Amino acid sequence: MLKLTERLGPIAASQADDTLTLPYERRVLGRLKATSDSGRALGLFLDRGPVLRDGEGLRAESGEVVQLRAAVEPVVTARIAAGLPLARLAYHLGNRHVQLALGEDEQGGYVRFPPDHVLEELAERLGARLEHHDAPFDPEPGAYTQLGHGHSHEHHHDAGHHHEHSHAH
């Protein structure tokens, strides 16, 4: 079994010795057994937390590199006019604390999410037209989840004291 232990961030396909295609629900796991697209047994032994992203490289203990691919799976793509309507749609769906993919193609901007009748009804009430289809689901990573990134910030108060918060995400 090829043991994948290191995240490399986005890589070009030409840098990979093999590929691994996984649906979103398996890309949130840091530890799993899988079979590469060429049929090799793989074991992922990665830090927990960051979602494996489409195009990310993973290095094995042996030095081989495997590129991760987002699997094609059932999704709902919600389309609405650009500008405030699209921002409002993304805001209200995101306020439900669900994973969302934001994108743009020849038809304009969109918000994509796994099928969910409550979210679909909300999107339609906001004026979006929905398309149920199969596509890769690679949601936004979030502002605090950049690979290998932690941040800290200080709060200053007029009352004459301050305190610091440190966050590692």
Calpha distance 50→16 (Å, rounded): 21
Nearest to 110 by CA among 123, 97, 98: 123
The most distant pair of C-alpha atoms in the chain lies apart, rounded to whole Å, by: 63
Q: For the chain, which residues make up each domain, given as ranges?
A: 2-70, 72-136
Give CATH for domain 2-70.
2.60.260.20
pLDDT of residue 142: 67
pLDDT of residue 119: 97
Domain 72-136: give its CATH superfamily: UreE, C-terminal domain (3.30.70.790)
Say if residues 44 and 61 touch (Cβ distance below 8 Å).
Answer: no
pLDDT of residue 145: 55
Q: pTM to 2 decimals?
A: 0.75
pLDDT of residue 48: 79
For 30, residues 6+ apart whose C-beta sits below 8 A from its C-beta are 44, 45, 46, 47, 48, 49
**Ordered mean pLDDT values, 10 residues apiece, the chain (169 residues):** 95 96 93 96 89 94 97 97 95 92 92 96 97 94 54 41 44
